[in-house]
Amino acid sequence: MVLRKIIILLTVFSLFMTLSIPCFAEPSVSAKAAAVICADSGEIVYSKNSDERLPMASTTKIMTSLIALEYGADEKFVTVTDEMLKVEGTSMGLKGGDRVSLMSLVKGMLICSGNDAANATAYIISGGVEPFAELMNERAKQIGMNNTHFVTPSGLDADSHYSSAYDMAILTAEAIKNPVFLNICSSKNVKAYYGSPPYRRVLTNHNKLLSVSDEYIGVKTGFTKKSGRCLVSAIRRDGKTLIAVTLSAPNDWSDHEKLYEYSVPLAKSLPLTCKEDLPKLNVVGGTEKSVATVFAENADYTFLNNPVSYTYKIHIKQFEYAPVLKGETVGFVDFFGDDGKFLKSVDLVAEKDVSCSQ
């Protein structure tokens, strides 16, 4: 009788331990190809045919928008022509003769997936689609996109226009380092100005994940008959930033939620801090002689297997003339692993306003 009780207790204990162990079984997803990476380290957390070359539809606009921002997109108005807009498919509503800024074109690409915006961007920057595609492919090489070739700025199907789930993930990791890109792609709605004459429009994001949780920070949807449903997303959860890509995925929204449920527990977060207080910025001609600085953004580093110790180097301006605005970038901190590998750069910004003394 005693032995029987012992056996029962051991069985119950064993069952309890089994139920308590986290389950990290890889999810079953509908996508033909998928990848999840740590946004900071680039390490692969999940992979399914992640190097297979496939059409990627309008997720192409991640590259087009990044190039536009790196080119110096601003609010200066240019006039678009009928030739620039000779493209089918989704549109932000441009017409020949409209005046629009390159910044509004970026919003039109990332928010409402405007093929007209992508084509116009190519003409404004490079004078046409083909020379702009050369820029796209050159930038892809710099990022390390070894299974990618761009032909169109919009992502419309074309022979030899392809990428892979992994390549689109590392492209996105590069893109979200740009604060303007990140701000736009993570917004549910944005204001843009265009027309003849320009007037204010409100563009609504097609990315349903942004309405699921504030943890989602973008990035881009895509669809053609050839490519199927394509989705690139990014999430910040538990101090970790991850990027997921699915290509040819009938149930892409569900796929991404499953991928993050699996991947977030596997990733690690390293809070990056400085041992000493962050330096103050000297201010000339202000109501105060100096102003404190703070990190501009989340300073966590997401990784899978990288070393967890680090060093850093602080860079700050010697001084700044007043006025200094709260949130103004005045320096940065570079973080490095023990092996000297660059980890992350975090901007330093003024903690508050400092007005002129007179």
> In the 8-state DSSP scheme, what is residue 316?
E
Q: How many CA atoms lie within 13 A of 33 on its CB side?
A: 21
- The neighbouring-strand residues paired with 332 are 315, 347
What CA–CA distance (Å, rounded) separates 13 from 10? 5
H helix or E strand, kind and range, residue 243:
strand 240-247
The residue type at 313: K
What CA–CA distance (Å, rounded) separates 324 from 161? 47
Please name which of 209, 205, 149, 140 lies closest in space to residue 174, comparing C-alpha atoms: 140
| Catalytic member of 32, 48, 61, 107 | 61
| Catalytic member of 41, 101, 104, 113 | 113
What CA–CA distance (Å, rounded) separates 241 from 304? 11
- Does residue 226 carry a catalytic annotation? no
Q: How many CA atoms lie within 13 A of 357 on its CB side?
A: 9
| Catalytic member of 58, 154, 233, 269 | 58
What CA–CA distance (Å, rounded) separates 9 from 178? 57
What CA–CA distance (Å, rounded) separates 151 from 157? 9
Q: Is 239 helix (H, G, I), strand (E, B) or coil?
A: coil
What CA–CA distance (Å, rounded) separates 160 from 173? 24
| Locus of tokens 């389950």 | 23
| Locus of tokens 């957390």 | 45
- Does residue 58 carry a catalytic annotation? yes
Phi-psi map region of 57: left, alpha, beta (phi>0 left; psi -120 to 50 alpha) = left
- Does residue 101 carry a catalytic annotation? no
**Active-site annotation, residues:** 58, 61, 113
